[in-house]
Amino acid sequence: RDYSIALIPGDGIGVDVIREGRKVLEAVCEIDGGLKFDYTEFDWSCEHYARHGKMMPDDGLERLRGFDSIYLGAVGYPGVPDHVSLWGLLLPIRRAFRQYINIRPVKLLRGIRSPLAGRSAEDLDFIVIRENNEGEYSSMGGRMYEGTPLDMAIQNSVFTRTGVERVLRYAFRLAQANGKRNRLTSATKSNGINHTMPFWDEYVGRITAEYPGVEVSNVHIDALCAFFVTKPDTFDVVVASNLFGDILTDLGAAIVGGLGIAPSANINPEKEFPSMFEPVHGSAPDIAGKGIANPIAAIWCVSMMLEHLGEAEAAKAVLEAVQDVLEEGQVLTPDLGGKASTRDVGDHICRKLRLA
> Which residues bind to its own copies, rule: CB under 8 A?
76, 82-83, 86-87, 91, 113-118, 136-137, 139, 141-143, 145, 149-162, 189-199, 221-223, 225-230, 242-243, 246-247, 249-251, 253-255, 258-259
Interaction residues for ligand IPM, span 162-221 (CB under 6 A): 191-192
CA 22/CA 41 separation, integer angstroms: 11
The CB-of-195 to its own copies minimum distance in angstroms stands at: 4
Q: Which does 83 bind (CB under 5 to 8 A by kind): its own copies, ligand IPM, none?
A: its own copies
Would you say 120 or 191 has its CB closer to ligand IPM?
191
Across 175-190, b (16+ Cβ under 10 Å) vs e yields bbeebeebbbbbbbbb
Site string for ligand IPM, 70-89 (x = CB under 6 A): ----------------x---
In the complex, minimum distance from the CB of residue 159 to ligand IPM, in angstroms, rounded to a whole number: 17
The smaller minimum CB distance to its own copies, of residues 197 and 237, is found at 197
| 246 interacts with ligand IPM by CB under 6 A | yes
Among ligand IPM, its own copies, none, partner that 310 touches (CB below 5 to 8 angstroms by kind): none
Question: Which among its own copies, ligand IPM, none contacts residue 251 (Cβ within 5 to 8 A by kind)?
Answer: its own copies
Q: Which residue number, 48 or 281, has a Cβ lying nearer to ligand IPM? A: 281
Residue type present at position 10: G
Nearer of residues 148 and 213 to its own copies, judged by Cβ:
148
**Nearest CA to 334 among 295, 278, 276?**
295
Nearer to its own copies by Cβ, of 11 and 307: the residue is 11
CA 180, CA 225: separation in Å to the nearest integer? Answer: 21
243 touches 135 (CB < 8 A): yes
> Judged by CB, which is closer to its own copies: 83, or 316?
83
Looking at the Cβ atoms of 175 and 253, the one nearer to its own copies is 253
Shortest reach from residue 73's CB to ligand IPM, in Å: 12
Q: Considering CB distances under 5 to 8 angstroms, the limit depending on partner class, which of its own copies, ligand IPM, none binds residue 301?
A: none
Q: At residue 269, what is the residue type?
A: P
Largest Cα span, the chain? 68
Q: How many CB atoms lie within 10 A of CB 74?
A: 31
Backbone torsion region of residue 277, taken as left when φ is above 0, otherwise alpha when ψ lies between -120 and 50, otherwise beta: beta
Min CB(52)–its own copies separation in Å? 22
Q: Which of 2, 67, 71, 68 is nearest to 33 (CA)?
A: 2
Of 192 and 198, nearer to ligand IPM (C-beta) is 192
Q: Which does 356 bind (CB under 5 to 8 A by kind): its own copies, ligand IPM, none?
A: none
CA dihedral 71, 77, 82, 88 (to 10 degrees): -50
Neighbours of 173 (CB within 10 A): 17
325-350 per-residue burial string, b: 16 or more CB within 10 A, e: under 16: bbeeeebbbebbebebbbebbbbbbb
Smallest distance, its own copies to C-beta of residue 311, A: 30
Phi, psi of 250 (to 5 degrees): -70, -40
CB of 224 to ligand IPM, least distance (A): 12
* Cβ-contact 349, 319 below 8 angstroms: no
- Distance of alpha carbon 256 from alpha carbon 233, whole angstroms: 12
* Contact code string over 278-317 relative to ligand IPM, x by CB under 6 A: --x-------------------------------------
Judged by the rule CB under 6 A, the positions of this chain that interact with ligand IPM are 86, 191-192, 222, 246, 280
